[in-house]
Structure 1
Amino acid sequence: MKSIFLKLGLLTTLSVGLIAGKASAEEMDWATKCLSMGDIQTGKNPSYQQINCLLTNAALSKNIPPEVVKAVAEQESAWRQFDENGEVVSDDKNGIGIMQVTLKDPTEETLKRLTDDIIYNIETGVNILNEKYKLQNPSSVPRIPRIAGAGREIIENWYFPVMAYNGIVPSNSPIFRSDGARNWYTYQDQVFSKIERQSFYDDTKLVQYPFEYNDFEYKTDFSTGFKFNKFDYVLTDVLHESGYLLKKGDVVIVTENKTKLREVHPTSDSNGSEQPLNKTFIITGDFEYTKLGSEDYNEKHYVWFPVKSTDGALSGYISSAYLAKKKDFVSPIVTGVKNNSNYNKDVKITFDEGTALLNGAIFKNGATVTKDGKYTLVVKDEESNTTTIKFTIDKTRPVTPSMNSVSDLSTTVTGKAEAGSTVKLSINGKYQKNTTTASNGIYKFTISKQKAGTTISVTATDKVGYVSAPKSLKVVDKTPPAIQSVNKVTSKSKTVTGSAEKYASVKIYRGSTLIGKGSVYSNGKFSVAIKTQKANTYLKVYVIDKAGNKKYRTIKVVK
Structure 2
Amino acid sequence: MKSFLLKFGLITAITVSLFNGKASAETNTTWTSKCGDASKVKSPSLQQINCLLTYAAINADIPPEVVKTVAWRESGWKQSKLSSDGGIGIMQITNQPRYDQKRLKTDIAYNIQAGVEILNEKYSWKQTDGTYTLPRIKDANRHTIENWYFPIMAYNGIKRVNSPIIKTQGTNYGKINTAAYQEIVLNLLEMQSYLRDEDGPNILAKFPFTTSDFDYSPDSDEDIVFKVPLYTINEGLHESPYFMKKGDLAYVTVDKVKLRPDSSTLKKELGTLNKYTTLTIYDEFKFDIGNDHNQFVWFKVKSPDGKIGFIPSAYLNPMVTGVANGAFYNKDVKIHVNEGVATLNGTRINNDYLISKVGSYTLVVKSKVANTTTIKFMIDKTKPTTPTMSTVSDQSTTVTGTAEAGSTVKLYINGKFQKSTTAASNKSYKFTVSKQKSGSTVSVTATDKAGNVSATKSLKVLDKTPPALPVVNKVTSKSKTVTGSAEKNASVKVYRGSTLIGQSSVNSSGKFSVSIKVQKANTYLKVYVIDKSGNKSVRTIKVVK
Which category of TM-score, normalised to the shorter sequence, fits these structures?
A: 0.5 to 0.7
- For residues 274-309 of structure 1, give each alpha carbon's deviation from its aligned partner in whole angstroms, at most 9, with x where no partner exists: 21111122111100001125xxx22x2100011111
Higher relative contact order (CA 8 A, sep 6+): 2
1:254 to partner: Cα distance: 0.8
Contact 2:159 2:221 in 1 (8 A): no
1:38 to partner: Cα distance: 8.7
Report the 3-state secondary structure (helix = DSSP H, G, I; strand = E; otherwise coil) of the residue aligned with 1:33: helix
Report the 3-state secondary structure (helix = DSSP H, G, I; strand = E; otherwise coil) of the residue aligned with 2:317: strand
Q: How many angstroms apart in 2 are the aligned matches of 1:324 and 1:238?
A: 12
Q: Which residue of structure 2 lines up, in the alignment, with residue 103 of structure 1?
A: 95
Q: How many angstroms apart in 2 are the aligned matches of 1:233 and 1:123?
A: 30
Q: How many angstroms apart in 2 are the aligned matches of 1:245 and 1:302?
A: 13
Matched, 1:266 2:258: no
- For residues 103-128 of structure 1, give each alpha carbon's deviation from its aligned partner in whole angstroms, at most 9, with x where no partner exists: 34457xx1101011111000000000
Report the 3-state secondary structure (helix = DSSP H, G, I; strand = E; otherwise coil) of the residue aligned with 2:276: coil
1:138 to partner: Cα distance: 8.8
Report the 3-state secondary structure (helix = DSSP H, G, I; strand = E; otherwise coil) of the residue aligned with 2:73: helix
Contact 1:199 1:301 in 2 (8 A): yes
Q: Which residue of structure 2 lines up, in the alignment, with residue 91 of structure 1?
A: 83
The alignment-based identity, stated in percent, is 41
Contact 1:278 1:329 in 2 (8 A): no
Q: Which residue of structure 1 lines up, in the alignment, with residue 184 of structure 2?
A: 190
Q: How many angstroms apart in 1 are the aligned matches of 2:111 and 2:146?
A: 25
Contact 1:177 1:217 in 2 (8 A): no
Q: Which residue of structure 1 lines up, in the alignment, with residue 316 of structure 2?
A: 323
Matched, 1:127 2:127: no
Matched, 1:154 2:112: no
The one of 61, 64, 86 aligned to 2:62: 64
AA aligned opposite 2:182: Q
Report the 3-state secondary structure (helix = DSSP H, G, I; strand = E; otherwise coil) of the residue aligned with 1:130: helix
Q: Which residue of structure 2 lines up, in the alignment, with residue 28 of structure 1?
A: 29
Q: How many angstroms apart in 1 are the aligned matches of 2:274 and 2:107?
A: 45
Matched, 1:304 2:304: no
Q: How many angstroms apart in 1 are the aligned matches of 2:177 and 2:300?
A: 40
Contact 2:278 2:367 in 1 (8 A): no
Q: Which residue of structure 1 lines up, in the alignment, with residue 76 of structure 2?
A: 78
AA aligned opposite 2:287: Y
Distance change in 2, residues 1:20/1:148 (3 Å): farther
Report the 3-state secondary structure (helix = DSSP H, G, I; strand = E; otherwise coil) of the residue aligned with 1:305: strand
Q: TM-score, normalised by structure 2?
A: 0.53
Q: How many angstroms apart in 2 are the aligned matches of 1:321 and 1:181?
A: 29
Q: How many angstroms apart in 2 are the aligned matches of 1:56 and 1:325?
A: 18
Contact 2:38 2:52 in 1 (8 A): no
Contact 2:278 2:371 in 1 (8 A): no
1:22 to partner: Cα distance: 5.4
Distance change in 2, residues 1:146/1:77 (3 Å): same
Q: How many angstroms apart in 1 are the aligned matches of 2:243 and 2:263?
A: 18
- For residues 479-504 of structure 1, give each alpha carbon's deviation from its aligned partner in whole angstroms, at most 9, with x where no partner exists: xxxxxxxxxxxxxxxxxxxxxxxxxx
- Structure 1 segments of 4 or more deviating over 6 A? none
Distance change in 2, residues 1:35/1:194 (3 Å): same
Distance change in 2, residues 1:144/1:326 (3 Å): closer
- 5 Å-filtered alignment, 1:237-386, equals 237-262=235-260, 264-272=261-269, 273-293=271-291, 297-298=292-293, 300-312=294-306, 314-327=307-320, 328-331=337-340, 381-383=369-371
AA aligned opposite 1:317: F
Q: How many angstroms apart in 1 are the aligned matches of 2:367 and 2:87?
A: 55
Matched, 1:177 2:170: no
AA aligned opposite 1:244: Y
AA aligned opposite 2:191: R
Q: How many angstroms apart in 1 are the aligned matches of 2:103 and 2:39?
A: 20
1:137 to partner: Cα distance: 7.4
1:59 to partner: Cα distance: 0.3
1:195 to partner: Cα distance: 0.9
How many residues align? The count is 307
